[in-house]
Amino acid sequence: MSRRMIDRTVDRQGFSLIELIVVVAIIAILAGIGVPYYLDSISDSRRSVLRQNMANFRKVLNDFKGDQGRGPFCVPVVSGTVELLVDPKSNDPASGSELVGGPIQYDQTQNPIVPWRRKNLQYLPKLPILEDPDTGQPLTWGYGSPSAYFFDDGTLGKFDIMDEFWFIDEDRNGKFTSAKDRVMSHKRVDFGDTDRPLSFFEDGTFTGTWTPLDYIDVTVTDLSGVPY
């Protein structure tokens, strides 16, 4: 083989500029087709996880209500000057959500009766982290429908478990009806007690200001406005 033929063979071992442009164009086209499908698969996966986390969250709330007769407190709870629950959405086992730190109950063995946290009854190791399907950003969940309400005697935004009293909305109509609902406190276990004046009520329905005490459902909306 002549030297000229060898030199031409060596010269043709690389890609020409046109060939490189074609390869880059093909890669760009494939990326343009594949990346959206990849991003959609990530969003679909996150959306599936979000739905599953919400379903598990609601199941835990149902378990809690089945055990306690109410949902977890959605307001701070105090007993006089003692803070039993500071942040209902906190994972602090001492002063956070009842799902993590245990339900607040009355210790019937003490005289006088005192409230306490049943720390050995843990419904969740920690509250679930809910992420937006498209961005992965954490979402803030809200309280759904309540089953119990309390009458505020002055500690606005807090429930004083040893002073204020509350009712369980058995018929789920959002108001107190003495024939169907139960009024509860450390002294009161039914509407027949006389330690509270009946002037709080008119024709069996409470007409003053009452506030939701617990939550038995949760709601969340992603950043695109889709509720779950």
pLDDT of residue 108: 67
The pLDDT confidence band at residue 170, using thresholds 50, 70 and 90, is confident
Three-state DSSP class for residue 140: coil
Distance CA 164, CA 142 (A): 25
How do the domains of the chain map onto residue ranges? Answer: 46-146+213-219
The pTM is what?
Answer: 0.73
pLDDT of residue 191: 44
Tens digits of residue pLDDT in 19-46: 777 777 778 777 777 666 555 678 888 8
DSSP-derived secondary structure letter, 138: B
- On the question of pLDDT at 123 being above 90, the answer is yes
* Average confidence score pLDDT of the chain: 79
pLDDT of residue 25: 75
Nearest to 85 by CA among 159, 147, 152: 159
pLDDT of residue 95: 94
Distance CA 3, CA 177 (A): 107
Nearest to 80 by CA among 155, 167, 183: 155
